[in-house]
Structure 1
Amino acid sequence: MAGISKKTIRTKKGTVIKYTISYYDIFGIQHTSGIYDTKKEAKKDINKYNNKEKTSDNITFGQIIECFMEKVNKKYSKSTKEEYQRFIDNHLYKFYDIKYKNLNAIIFQKVFDDIEKETPFTAYNMLKFCKAAVNYCMSPKINLIGYNIFKDIEPIILPESKKQNLTLQDALKLMKTCTVYDNLFFPILFSFILNGMREGELFALTLNDINFSNGTIRINKQFTGNEYKEKTKTDKSNRYIFMFPIYILFLDIYLPTLDKKSNLVFPNSQGGYLHASNLRQRHWQKLLLKCGYDKDYTSLHKLRAFFIDLMFYLGVPGKFTQGQVGHAKYETTYNTYASNNASIIDASIAQVSKGMGLDFADKRFNESDLKKSFINILESYIINNPKILNKTKELKKVKTFFGKKCEQNVSKNEIKQKDKIIKFPKRCQEL
């Protein structure tokens, strides 16, 4: 309720006592209004402010949305703000002046049903937005209302995604083909597959983020929606990724080829940030077609899912995988991203068979084959990249899980390319 407070005012003639009305608006923020000579005068106006008390009877749906949008404008990305504003402008504005207590799930159900028929993803995301807005106003900090009517809306059924999770054989085929036909894109593809980073995290990566001494990559920023952000998608996404030896070997080969003018690890041709849409159209979709897949067979984001599948395939503990990809909850890693594809099934059967002492398990695609495949892919990348051939002397000595000797298909540490013979330096020979 609104109340009356004394206010001491200093004047040239001394101090005088005045009265003012204090009240809380619907967002829980305290205000004062008016200066009155007597308490009796203030009492006459106090009822004007009682209707601003934070009770659900006085709150409109628009006030709830605007309360939540204040938070959105401070903390959310530009693309998210724009999406939420479209929900308001196209669908929710008509309910703005209606008191929340007069609304119910039946009223909104038809709205969501109509949208779902045309664009189910819009309906799905708008329902999430409405639930989040009301939940925010129900939180102890705001405490405006007591019940979320959007919980009673029927769940939006999304069409099944046609994008496929890659099998191990798919990924190896894409990488090998990429080294021959698009070695400019290969470093990005290889990094997605071996790190599980989000697109925006990879695009914002700088040379300062790579620490060879402890084998980590720092993830603390992103370039997404054509916007650079000094923060990650979530707090948990702010992390350090542990580099695998094969990836350290790759960086040792790749980094010397970069233009010194840019500090980005994966810059565009002008040294600036990569744009996801350009990358898909100019490289990713063309690579899929070159490998015999439909251009919509899978997505760049699915490479993040493949990384998780690869970790499961290799028997890596789930908690480690969760930390690598930056998920707050293990359920997201396990249920949303991981898939029970052919590679996982084969590996599982082989693991059980090996434990039972069955010989046929050894005939399946095993760890040794995987090692050779990755080494052969890097070998192909080197052969088909003139920049690297000119920089081989700058390769650092690194240890890999392949042992002291590199299992490359190289005769006497030489690679024949057309009429040229390229010699690997001793540091590379001893990998």
Structure 2
Amino acid sequence: MQSYDLEDSQSLVRFLQDAEIRLVRLEYLVELQKAERVFPRRQEAETETTRCGQTALVDASELARLEIDERTGHISTMINFPWPPRRVTVNLVSISHAWESMEHPDPWRFQLEAIVDAFRVRLCDGLVWVFFDYISLHQYKRSTAQDQLFQRALHDMHILYAHEAVEVHLLEDLTPESLKGSRKGAIPVYCEGKDTVKAVPIQDLKLNVTPYDVRGWCQAEMEWARLRASVKGASVPRPPQIFKKAISQLQFTHRSDLDAVVQLQEKVFEQKASSTERLLIQDLDAVKIKTLCAAMPFYRNLKEVVIPAASLKVRCSLAAAVVRSGACDIQMNCEHLRDEDAIAFAVALSKNDCGHLQRLSIKCNAISKRGTDALQQMAAQQCNAVHCHSEDTEW
């Protein structure tokens, strides 16, 4: 089966085409919300249109017409309506969400409203194409051909959450009880006994109130979304050994899915980490720094690492882990670096082969002469590889 790159936008488009995944136009979701309708299945959505006559789902020909800037990965397309024709940005969004019933993920339209509220403003100057599994993939009951496409998409589902060109939106909240009480009634769902879609009272559905943060597949999607070139705040990727321990405590509809999720996460993590060449690290607390340190050995092909001033209390453990990653250009603004951190960092560096380094830029005005002396001595030992400076002072 074909493999896909997690940074190349053309590769993402090719995956969407190969698996016949249909993204949904945000304009259609806006109209769905106004009409107080729930998400239809993919099978029914294929025949729906917007008020302007566009298909509800983006078709293959539109994917083929996308323009991708090879340098930046920016995605755009030409539109003819409203007049005049113009080129606009295409925002690709994947939704990670909980299914609130077995038959339908969003019986009370809470998730639909959250998506529209989050992205509607972008329609002012661009397009928003959304991946939402219930409407983007064929649902039960599927024909043989539809099931083959479904399995094809499922095999590489991580691409829609880990790809650099996709914005992942997490819907972590379930429908509030107050909203459930005001939206009673029936919604159209597939009924196996009748082999057709018909209206079923919401209270007759097999509801699932398991929180998002203890659902295995939801956490897998969140984990894939963390594998980006920018590591910030809560988005620190967990290496396979840490992820496996955490997810074993979560809930799966089918417990057999646990092994599949663990294996896929390991595959995705190693693929993404090993292909990452540039990494931005910022706004990490002590716990997140520890997690990132455990992940750094997987980043074997780093060329540039930037740790800006916004970083919280950069510690020597992270700094040393970054150096050991093999990156050849490391820029660290260690405004919160303490003398003891600088000394420990210097000791750690002196014990490592830094021959791969072309530039190590360290800004650390907050330390005293004691810390500065330690860094100066380290720089002298590694003079063939390390170039350090503190603002205007070079060592």
Scaled by the length of structure 1, the TM-score of the pair is 0.20
Larger CA Rg, structure 1 vs 2: 1
Of Structure 1 and Structure 2, which has the larger fraction of its residues in helix?
1
Of Structure 1 and Structure 2, which has the larger fraction of its residues in strand?
2
Scaled by the length of structure 2, the TM-score of the pair is 0.21
